[in-house]
Structures are given as structure tokens and as C-alpha cells.
Structure 1
Amino acid sequence: MSDPFERKIYEARLTPHRSMTPHAFYLFILIFCFGQLLFALPFFFMGAWPVAGFMGLDAVGLYLAFRVSFRAARSHETLDLTPLELVFAQIGARGQRKEWRFNPSWVRLEQTIHEEFGTERVALISRGECIEIGAFLGPDQKAELARELNRALIDARMGARFG
């Protein structure tokens, strides 16, 4: 039988939203480069070849910007809550990990709400330390996260359930 103190009450993996899949990205770049080529060829044949070169730089710049965006999308955050501990971890795009551990009885969830824009910030506060969670989420997602995590923290404070 599993230990009730090790049972996960809540767990979440928070990831930044990216609307473009890698396949759509390559298709977009292909179409963009083809369009750039169509516009660059007349300039090239008129002898204004530097214009064609700069149009090629636009395509390279766009490609690099998307690659950086896709790399940043590999970052994520995790929340694991048991009756004895809340573990919050931020994992960067290159795999570097920062981790905080809190006692569920002492940690406080702070939610900053703007009357027009909704939830702007969700943070864990304990012993004078304030850690923002899900900074990359939208207002509705932050509100849902705060609701779920607050409910889970209340369950954790009630203690482990035996049986």
C-alpha cells in the first residue's frame, strides 16, 4: 500500500503557448522565401542585386527569430503537491532547473487581479520569499491555476488521508 504522505494531491506542468507547429513553421518559411524570391528576381535582373540580398537577409532574420521562439517554448514549470511538501520547479529551454520547496501549511497563494484585465499575477509566498508562477500564462489560465492550486492547498492542509 502506498504511503499517504507521498500521495500527490496536485500536479501540473505549465508550458508557454505556441500556436505554430514545427511543420507549419517550415511551410510558412518555404512560402515566405518563395515570395521573397519572386520580388527579388526583377531587382536582380535590373542590376539592383543588393536589394535581392537584403530580401534574403529578411528571410534569414525571420527564420532565426522563429528558431529562438521554438527554443524558448521548451521551457516549462512544474508544480507537485503532497500533504507534506509543495515543489515548484522552473525548467529553462536549455534544461537548467531552479527548484523551490514549501511546506503546504505555511505557503500562501497570492493572486493579483486587475478589474479590467483579470488575473495578472499568481505567486507563492513563504518566509518572506515570493515566487511568481505561470508568468507566461494568459489571465484566464492564471485564474484557473490559482483556483485549482488554492483548492489543492486546502486539501493538503487537512492532512493525509488514510484508508
Structure 2
Amino acid sequence: MPIDISGPQPDGPPSAESGGAGGSVRVFFDAILHPHRSLGRNGFRVLMAVVVAMNLIVAGIFVAHGAWPVVPFCGLDVLALWLAFRVSYRSARQYERVRLTDTALTVQRVHWKRPERRWSFHPYWLRITHNEPADHDRRGAAGQVTLSSHGQSVGVGSFLSPDERSTFARALGDALRSWRRPPCPPAPAG
């Protein structure tokens, strides 16, 4: 599942987690966003078994006709397919975590090739912008959810489908409205 969202129930109080100093932090929203992978591990194993079986049949036909030098090349497509899926599954280890607590909205981005990045916003000043292009099929026209405050902004969920981005933006907007309902924490001075 590409989105795991947790937070308060619609009419319930925000969930509480224990803080480091014995206090508790109210969590209004906690979502972990993962890139979608259409083929799971078992599907990959089945696909590879079918490709290997087909390659063995083709190699057998070539050997039967005396073209045995072709046989090593039959394994190259299996190797290329395996490598492509390995890269795809490695990139699936990336995720983004968006968390709204009493004091901050934090975005944590973990990517398999780059160092972890974090952004922190005060929820009082936070603005959520959700842009979706009119034509989802246009190349290069990916929609995004942008979180902005005080000149700092970050896009989240760029790898989600348009419907998943809409669901995420709506859920985060609802949580932010819940955070702003009295008694909300005071706005920072300045």
C-alpha cells in the first residue's frame, strides 16, 4: 500500500505518544508514503521462472538445430530483467513520512541513494497546495502536494497516483484544520 495514514479518529482526540522527557506529544497526523510497485516478490519469482523456462526451451531448440553458440545469449535477457527488477525493488525502499504534532509538521524523506532529508514547519503558518494538471496523461505534467511556510517549501508524494495525492492532501488538510481548532497551540512570536 503506497500510503499508511494514522492520526486521530474524526471525532476522537488526537493520539498520544510519550515524549523523551516524560511528557506526551499529541500526534494529529502521521503518514508514510511509499512508491507503488505493481509486481510483488512472489509475482517476480513466477515471472522469472516463466522467463527462465521460455529461455531454456528456446536454447534447446537452438542446440537441436546446431546453433549452440546462441545459447549464452539466451541468458542475457534473463540477467537484464533480473537487474532491472533489482533496481526497481531497491528504489522501492524510499519513502516520505509526514507527521503533524502539537509543535511541528515534519517531513522526512528517505531515499536509497541519497542521505536522509528533513524539513520542519510550524503548523500555524503552514499552507498546503495541491496542483493536479488537467490532463493526467501528459508527459512531464506530474501533480504534486506542496507544503510551504515562511519562504520554505517542499513537495511531497510526487511518486503517488493523482487519486492518492488527492486523498493525502485532503487527509493532511483535515488534520491541519483539526490542529487549528481551539484550543490550538499558540502562534510563535515574530
TM bracket, shorter-chain basis: 0.7 to 0.9
> CA 1:42 to 1:82, structure 2 compared with 1: closer, same or farther past 3 Å?
same
TM-score, normalization by structure 1: 0.87
Q: Are the equivalent residues in 2 in contact too, given 1:122–1:133 (CA < 8 A)?
A: yes
Query: Unmatched 5+ residue regions in structure 1?
Result: none
Q: 1:106 aligns with which of 85, 100, 125?
A: 125
Cα displacement string for residues 64-91 of structure 1 (whole angstroms, at most 9, x for unaligned residues)? 1011111111111101101220010011
Q: Give the CA deviation at 1:94.
A: 5.7
Match for residue 158 of structure 2? Answer: 135
2:78 maps to 1:59: yes
Query: More displaced, 16-25 or 74-83?
Result: 16-25
Aligned-pair Cα RMSD in Å? 2.4
2:32 maps to 1:13: yes
Q: Give the CA deviation at 1:152.
A: 1.2
Q: Are the equivalent residues in 2 in contact too, given 1:5–1:83 (CA < 8 A)?
A: no
Q: Which has the higher contact order (CA 8 A, sep 6+)?
A: 1
Query: More displaced, 121-130 or 110-119?
Result: 110-119
Q: Are the equivalent residues in 2 in contact too, given 1:14–1:78 (CA < 8 A)?
A: yes
- Give aligned pairs, total: 160
2:167 maps to 1:148: no
Q: Are the equivalent residues in 2 in contact too, given 1:108–1:126 (CA < 8 A)?
A: yes
2:56 maps to 1:37: yes
Q: Give the CA deviation at 1:26.
A: 1.4
Q: Give the CA deviation at 1:95.
A: 8.1
Query: Unmatched 5+ residue regions in structure 2?
Result: 1-15, 186-190
Identity %: 34
